[in-house]
Amino acid sequence: MESLRDIRQNIKAIRSTQQIMQTMKMISSARIRKAQQTMDNARPFAKKMLDMVADLKQEVLALPEPQDGTESWASRFFVNKTADAGKIGLVVITGDKGLAGSFNAVILRAAVAFLKENQDKEIAVFCIGKKGRDFIGRLKHKNIKIVYDSVGIFPKITYAHAELLGEAVMKEFFHNKLASVTLIYNDFKSMGSQRLVQQELLPFSLDQEVKQNDETEFLFEPNVSEIFRLLVPRLIKANMYRILLESQAANLAATMNAMDAASKNASDLADALGVKLNKVRQAGITNEILDIVNGANALNG
């Protein structure tokens, strides 16, 4: 049986850990309000950029192909006919730390399933978050190569982080002729839940993003190709920024919920140990009384 000292030390350790959990919950709760506001502010701009590029889709696909038989720069974002089918990209966005419930595990399971499904291809991986980078870095597969990683950027995401990631993705997409780039992350759905998202980032699939109006005619200055060349990098970076903000908010919500549940469990465990402490103490007192009574009976006998 545990001694009173051991039980008291366990209760003290649990209470101390509970205080840490409550502090982390309060920090996440304070940060998530700002993260939600920033995320909500970024959504309209990213959506409008998608609408503008979708409006240009038919005009871009109608552009004449280069005389040398190669695919035009603009059409690669929609059709990508000259890509190497054996090369693909994967963007994995996780958190930098644990203590967030199943937040990171859900993303990493989806990433592992994707890598297994495409194990016969060369996969260029873009890792955002320490958990994802460390996990994929340990796989040691010859066809898997981390070409870009960024850690320690949560929970202070800025547009500069999205710019660096967007430029890295576009550079790899063009220079190594990737057939596609897939994105895996947790989307912020509500304070109590997050939604795993796995979608194709490149080439664009905008058929459902906006309702085309074939009767509308536009006049482009200087020309469609130049406008598209300016819009595409901004579209990718704006959506990267939105996605990073969504992931940041989801991570903070998951951390807050996990710490709240852990704090309640710690409180229940400490209460259970308090009951055990009282039982052990009462048993000790009872034994001492019995010893005294037995000793008195022995003297009187």
Identity of residue 135: F
Confidence at residue 232, expressed as pLDDT on a 0 to 100 scale:
83
Quick one: DSSP state of residue 121? S
Domain membership of residue 285 (yes or no) is no
Q: In percent, how much of the chain has pLDDT > 90?
A: 30
Domain membership of residue 14 (yes or no) is no
Pairing of the two strands 144-150 and 122-128: parallel
Confidence at residue 115, expressed as pLDDT on a 0 to 100 scale:
93
Residue 222: which domain range?
21-259
Identity of residue 73: W
Highest mean pLDDT among 20-24, 129-133, 137-141: 129-133
Confidence at residue 66, expressed as pLDDT on a 0 to 100 scale:
61
pLDDT digit string (tens) for 67-100? 554 556 666 777 766 677 889 999 999 999 888 8
Q: Find the radius of gyration of the CA atoms of the chain.
A: 29
Domain membership of residue 236 (yes or no) is yes
Residue 126 bridge partners (DSSP) = 91, 148
Domain membership of residue 5 (yes or no) is no
Domain membership of residue 172 (yes or no) is yes
Residue 214 has pLDDT above 60, yes or no: no
pLDDT digit string (tens) for 223-254? 777 777 788 888 889 899 999 999 999 999 99
Q: Indicate which CATH number applies to the domain containing 152.
A: 3.40.1380.10
* Structure-token pair, residue 179: 């057939």
As a whole number of angstroms, the distance between CA 251 and CA 95 comes to 7
Domain membership of residue 301 (yes or no) is no
Domain membership of residue 146 (yes or no) is yes
Handedness of CA 38, 168, 87, 60 (dihedral sign): positive
As a whole number of angstroms, the distance between CA 188 and CA 157 comes to 15
Choose the weakest-confidence range: 101-105, 150-154, 187-191, 208-212: 208-212
- Confidence class for position 112, pLDDT limits 50, 70, 90: very high
Give how many domains the chain has, as a whole number. Answer: 1
Q: What are the phi and psi torsion angles at 190 (to 5°)?
A: -160, 175
More confident residue, 65 or 197: 197
Domain membership of residue 57 (yes or no) is yes
Give the CA-trace dihedral at 34, 38, 41, 45, to 10 degrees: -170
